Amino acid sequence: MSDLERVEGWGLSTASLCHVERPTDAEGVRKAFSLAAERGWTVGLRGAGRSYGDASQNDGGLLLDLQEWNRVQGWDPETGIARVDPGVTVEQLWERVVQDGWWPKVVSGTMTPTIGGAAAMNIHGKNAYKVGTIGDWIQGFDLISPSGDLHCSRDENADVFHAAIGGFGELGVMHNISLKNHFVDSGRLMEYPFVEPNLDAMFDHFEELRQDADYCVGWIDAFAGGSSLGRGQIHTANYLSADEDPRGLALRPPDKQRLPDRLFGVIPKSIMWRFVRPFAHPLGMRMINLAKVIAGEYAPGSKSPYHQTHAGFHFLLDFIPDWKLMHGRRGLIQFQPFVPADAARAVFGRLLRMQQERGLVNWLTVMKRHKPDPFLMTHGLDGWSLAQDFNVTDKNRAALWALCRDMTEVVLDAGGRFYPAKDATLTAAQFQRSLGQATISEFRALKKRLDPDTRIQTNLWRRLMA
CB of 446 to ligand FAD, least distance (A): 14
In degrees, rounded to 5, the angle at the alpha carbon of residue 321 between the alpha carbons of residues 320 and 327 is 85
**What burial letters (b/e) apply to 346-362, b meaning 16+ CB within 10 Å?**
ebbbebbeebeeeebbb
Cα separation, 59 vs 17, in Å, equals: 5
Cα separation, 261 vs 221, in Å, equals: 28
CB of 397 to ligand FAD, least distance (A): 20
Query: Mind spelling out the 3-state secondary structure of the chain?
Result: CCCEEEEECCCECCEEEEEEECCCCHHHHHHHHHHHHHHCCCEEEECCCCCCCCCCCCCCCEEEECCCCCCEEEEECCCCEEEECCCCEHHHHHHHHHCCCEEECCCCCCCCCEHHHHHHHCCECCCHHHHCEHHHHEEEEEEEECCEEEEEECCCCHHHHHHHCCCCCCCCEEEEEEEEEEECCCCEEEEEEEEECCHHHHHHHHHHHCCCCCEEEEEECCCCCHHHCCCEEEEEEEECCCCCCHHHHHHCCHHHHCCCCEECCCEEHHHHHHHHHHHCCHHHHHHHHHHHHHHHHHCCCCCCCEEEEHHHHHCHHHHCCCHHHHHCCCCEEEECCEEEHHHHHHHHHHHHHHHHHCCCCCCEEEEEEECCCCCCCCCCCCEEEEEEEEECCCCCHHHHHHHHHHHHHHHHHCCCECCHHHCCCCCHHHHHHHHCHHHHHHHHHHHHHHCCCCCECCHHHHHHCC
Nearer of residues 247 and 448 to ligand FAD, judged by Cβ: 448
CB of 300 to ligand FAD, least distance (A): 29
Nearer of residues 174 and 386 to ligand FAD, judged by Cβ: 174
Question: Between β-strands 43-46 and 4-8, what pairing exists: parallel, antiparallel or unpaired?
Answer: unpaired
Q: Confirm if 19 and 4 have CB atoms less than 8 A apart.
A: yes
Nearer of residues 47 and 296 to ligand FAD, judged by Cβ: 47
Nearer of residues 121 and 361 to ligand FAD, judged by Cβ: 121
Cα separation, 126 vs 237, in Å, equals: 9
Nearer of residues 128 and 404 to ligand FAD, judged by Cβ: 128
Nearer of residues 239 and 323 to ligand FAD, judged by Cβ: 323
CB of 167 to ligand FAD, least distance (A): 8
Cα separation, 73 vs 71, in Å, equals: 6
151: which strand partners? 142
Instruction: Name the site residues for ligand FAD (rule: CB under 6 A).
Output: 10, 44-51, 55-56, 66, 86, 108-110, 113-114, 116-118, 120-121, 123-125, 168-169, 173-174, 317, 421, 458
Nearer of residues 80 and 125 to ligand FAD, judged by Cβ: 125
Cα separation, 42 vs 57, in Å, equals: 11
Side chain identity at residue 278, one-letter code? P
